[in-house]
Amino acid sequence: MGGDPRGVVHGRSATQLTYDLSRALAKGTGGRPWGPGDEVVVTELDHDANVRPWIQAAEASGATVRWLRLDPATADLDLTALDDVVTERTRLVAVAGASNLLGTMPDVARIAARAHAVGALVHVDAVHLAAHAAIDLAALGADLLVLSPYKLFGPHCAALVADPALLETIRPDKLAPSTDAVPERFELGTLPYELLAGVTAAVDFLAGLGARGGSRRERILDAHARIHAHELRLRGRVEEGLRALGDRLVLHSIAARRTPTLFLTPTRVDAADAYRALLAHDLLVPAGSFYAQEPFRALATGAPGGLRIGLAAYTDDAEVDRLLAGLDAVL
């Protein structure tokens, strides 16, 4: 992530780490807790794991929640009101690096610049982004960032990455005999070392997709460039095929910057029925809203759910052919 190893906190899941962090931050950084008059900003683009913990922490502390809205016409955040939403009262802005529903990659750096101008922290949910792009903490403008290695071919666990100096200012609840050193003060109980060994193997696998030579970080950056080119080409093929299906679907993933994740709603069949029918074609195109409650609500599709197509480094052209044929048959 381009961070400092001394600022990496391991945890069970991104949801768990975000909940733990939200409660600790509400208690205060540098001795100043959240309270009436303070504001926390969340977005209509995020997975609920980067919305609900902050709302609940704000409600418990008396702080106010403000929203950056999603524009369904662009499938991106509407930042025209950014300066009005993020103000001198803002203590924290929580935003997705990329939407797990739409694939949208919002302008996090712009949001972070505004937040930092008023002295607020920026928390980035990079769970979906880390699967498809190289991340540099400083370039992104993230003070705090969570990700899940299971999105990177690894086991199901998570990590919080931050500046160690910032973590020193946060006092989580912990057991009395446990160390108060950073980052260990945030790692409650014994770590799952077997999972962490799997994380190391997954990162090495990812680095192995890059050019030989150089540091592991350099190989990972090269690997992501190659993966991006591969996924972008396949996404273009899928989008061309979806256009050929005409009015049988509505494609919602239309943002200018996005990952190879496509969310659509069928117009003639129920999404859950289509998901089950596609399994007969050896296709996993799941149906639902994928814990992305706010963006799904903002889309106002009128349906109980939609279909999500996900491409990855290991997806090939034959699978795209089968996907398009299956969608044609089912939709």
Q: Is 256 helix (H, G, I), strand (E, B) or coil?
A: coil
Four-point Cα dihedral 236, 263, 124, 52, nearest 10: 180
Which CATH number is 51's domain given?
3.40.640.10
Last residue of one domain, picked from the residues 167, 202, 237:
202
Same domain? For 41 and 74 the reply is yes
In a shared domain, residues 250 and 187 = no
Residue 140 domain-assigned?
yes
Instruction: Give the integer Cα–Cα distance in Å for 170 and 163.
Output: 12
* Collapsed DSSP state (helix, strand, coil) of residue 136: coil
Which two structure tokens, joined as six digits, stand for 153? 């071919």
CATH of the domain at 295: 3.90.1150.10
The predicted pLDDT at position 69 comes to 98
Backbone angles phi, psi at 112, to 5 degrees: -65, -40
| pLDDT mean values, one per 10 residues, the chain (331 residues) | 96 97 90 94 98 98 98 98 98 98 98 98 98 95 97 96 97 95 95 96 96 94 97 98 98 98 98 98 97 98 97 96 98 97
pTM of the complete model: 0.97
Q: How far apart are CA 185 and CA 20, in angstroms?
A: 12
Q: Which domain holds residue 313?
A: 225-330
In a domain, 214, yes or no: no
Examine the domain organization and report whether 100 and 162 are in the same domain: yes
For residue 131, being part of any structural domain is answered with yes
Q: Is residue 210 part of a domain?
A: no
Q: Looking at residue 31, what is its pLDDT?
A: 72
Helical segments of the chain, H only? 14-27, 52-61, 82-85, 108-117, 137-140, 164-167, 193-208, 216-244, 271-279, 293-299, 317-330
212 part of a folded domain: no
User: In the chain, how many domains are there?
Assistant: 2
3-state secondary structure of 189: coil
At 29 the pLDDT is 73
What is the model's pLDDT at position 217? 95
Hey, what are 217's tokens?
A: 């970080």
**Three-state DSSP state, 106:** coil
Query: What is the pLDDT at residue 313?
Result: 94
Q: What is the pLDDT of residue 28?
A: 85
